Structure 1
Amino acid sequence: MNKLILIFIFLTVSIFARYDVFPTQECPAFNNMKHTKNTHNVHLNTNEKYTILKHHKGQNLILVTGEQPAQRWVNDTCFSKRSESSNPVNVEKVESRIISIEEELSKTSTSIDLTKHTKKYGNKNISKQNLLALSWHNAFCETHRYKKECKRSMFSFGRPNYSEKHFVLHGLWPQPKNKIYCDVGREDINLDKHKQGNRLPDLDLSDTVKTRLQKVMPGFSSNLHKHEWVKHGACYGTDANEYYEDSISMVEQMNDSKVGDFFKKHIGKRVTLQQIRSVFDRNFGLGTGKRVELKCDNGLITELWLHLGSGSDALGTLLKQGKQTRSHCQSGLVDKAGF
């Protein structure tokens, strides 16, 4: 019995020698103690907890999940005073630490993202895995000049459209990809497949949703919203109004993030998938970049595909629940407006 107790104490000490904490600053995470190399330009995310593996001379060796190398060095100042207690635990403190196991686990499982978005998802029918397809409208219009949404009014010159510096909504697609036309009548399916969106039934959208949707989905003028609802939205598990409320929210969160800023600053420049995924990791949390797929055509970035989970309206949380993906396109030009 005594041996079992000693083993239990040893294991408990080993567990708590590694301590998870939130950083207080977005510090760079270096490969070495001299801070001479930072592979993939990794920075801490204040919304993420990190495991501190070791403390040495004013620095912490931490674990950055999903990175190579995963073990990184950061200064003590990157964490709150609480992190200073992350040094190996003395045996005398084991008892008090054991008592707080449940409390610490509950803290670890709490995400800051969830405190920003309080919408409750009581509908168990909502699709568990989804793909958010975001279009870079300038590139889309290079090959679709005949589309209504690509024709500018003579009165709009000098006033940039929202779509010229932001990603816009292509669609939110329940997965797997063959999950389409759920409970949709044969007549509407035929109309959609023959690109007769103007003949599809009008959607019961509130005035507010309709106004917001027209802003983030330029294809609204070509009845894209009807096509997306009939083919994909009908499989989402809600009505059209809530389906587009969720879609709009995701688009707005993306454009208001560091990712949106990154693309605006790089209009007319070439960027890489690695750069894009790194910005996703810094803004939405480590590992979220691996849920991002880059789509290109003739050297131009045309779309971002975000692989998402469900159960939240926080984009970061949804990305963490999505499936990791590969991307055939590794780099492309962020096209500017105009032909």
Structure 2
Amino acid sequence: MKYWTKLIAVSLWLSLVVTVNSWPQISLTGYFIATENCPALQSFKKGTNPGNIGLTPDMAYELIGKNKVEASHYRIRVKNADPKERWVSASCGFIITDCKKSGINTGSSSNPDSSLPEYLLAISWQPAFCQNHPLKAECETQDTNRYDASHFTLHGLWPQPESNIYCNVSNVNKNLDSRNIWAQLPQPDISPATFEDLIEVMPGVASYLHLHEWIKHGTCYSPTPEEYFVESIMLTEQINSSVVRDFFAENIGKTIRVSDIKAKFNEAFGPGAGDKVNVKCSKGMITELWINLQGDITSRSNLSTLLLQADSVSSNCQAGLIDPVGYQ
């Protein structure tokens, strides 16, 4: 009898040990935004890191879970790692979670905050724009060697909601702007270096688009036009330096699907980023991308974070032509 009693006791103890050691992680749905170059571990208890994988600061990673309610580590997926599922220290970044999906109260204030400012970044595919506006000055001079033949151009960065316009603008300038008499609007005070960058990324400067954008939208964005244009250019350049722009350039003259554009945004800026992009089409051509952003923008902001915090949006078309330079 004593033998069986001891055997049962040992079995129960072993069962308890196994249960405790294999206690499941708390599942989460969302993203982990890295702020440090920390190791991504297969086991944080053992410190194992196959492939010597590290986080890339400002990169968004798919969030899977956490080790306990007051998390010391988060479980994420790292795209090019083997195995992909890794543990990272909670001190290496912050999380953006969807509480409706996870059903978990993280005890964290890192969920998207509706009090954060919202913006719409509008970028154009200039050959398609010129197809519809051939008499614009910037369109009369467009050729295949110019930057805007194969890169996105800046239309504007618009504080939301859309009624948030003309902040502290005189009635005279409002009237000039609303009547499209942009050439008579005051010149914004920006540095020569910024203006040089603006000419490249916003060819509409030739038609005084920058004067219109500052008066209508920029005045509600920042106290100075320098800040407004520097940060607008910075955001556009992040897209032009990504696989999104590469995908467009490689498919000039071809019709592409909106779903593929969204997939490229996910690849470049993290899972879910493509859901924040409204692809605008006209006459069978892709003309613009309207991109929802949320968060405080500075000259060092990362587009991934601004995208992931923003609201999702639908598109008005399913596919469109990447128009080449020249009139069809």
Counterpart position of 1:281: 266
The yes-or-no answer on 1:166 pairing with 2:138 is: no
Query: Structure 2, unaligned stretches of length 5 or more?
Result: 1-15, 41-54, 66-74, 97-114
Name 1:152's counterpart in structure 2. 141
CA distance in 2, matches of 1:318, 1:309: 5
Distance in 2 (CA, whole Å) between partners of 1:198 and 1:13 is: 68
1:76/1:105 Cα in 2 relative to 1: closer, same or farther (>3 Å)?
Answer: closer
User: 1:13 is matched with which residue?
Assistant: 23
1:225 matched to 2:230? The reply is no
2-side partners of 1:252 and 1:239: how far apart? 20
Q: Is the 8 A contact 2:61 2:270 kept in 1?
A: no
**Residues 127 and 174 of structure 1 are in contact (CA less than 8 Å); yes or no, is this contact kept in structure 2?**
no
* Structure ranking higher in helix proportion: 1
1:107 CA displacement: 2.7
Percent identical among aligned pairs is 38
User: 1:267–1:335: 8 Å Cα contact kept in structure 2?
Assistant: yes
Q: Report the CA distance shift for 1:310/1:145 in structure 2 as closer, same or farther (over 3 A).
A: same
1:329 aligns with 2:278: no
Where does residue 231 of structure 2 map in the other structure? 246
Distance 1:15 1:168, change over 3 A: same
Deviations 1:142-167 (A, max 9, x none): 111110000128xxx6x610011011
Alignment CA distance shift 1:10-1:187 (3 Å): farther
Contact map agreement 1:197 1:227 (CA 8 A) in 2: yes
The letter for the 1-side match of 2:25 is: I
Partner Cα distance (1:247, 1:228) in 2: 11
> d(CA) in 1 for partners of 2:247 and 2:286?
14
Residue pairs, 1:304-323, within 5 angstroms: 304-312=289-297, 313-323=301-311
- Greater Rg over alpha carbons, structure: 2
Q: 2: distance between equivalents of 1:49 and 1:167?
A: 26
Question: Whole-Å Cα distance in 1 between the matches of residues 244 and 138 of structure 2?
Answer: 24
Alignment counterpart, residue 82 of structure 2, candidates 77, 86, 102:
77
CA 1:134–1:323: 2 relative to 1, 3 Å: same
Q: Cα RMSD (Å) of the superposition?
A: 3.5
Please tell me the residue identity of whatever aligns with 2:82: T
- Give the distance between the partners of 2:26 and 2:267, measured in 1 at CA: 27
In structure 1, how many angstroms separate the alpha carbons of the residues matched to 2:91 and 2:252?
43
TM norm structure 2: 0.70
Count of matched residue positions in the alignment of Structure 1 and Structure 2: 258
Q: 1:10 Cα shift?
A: 6.5
Would you say the 8 A contact 2:63–2:76 is kept in 1?
yes
Instruction: Give distance in 2, aligned partners of 1:247 and 1:275.
Output: 25
- Partner residue of 1:291? 276
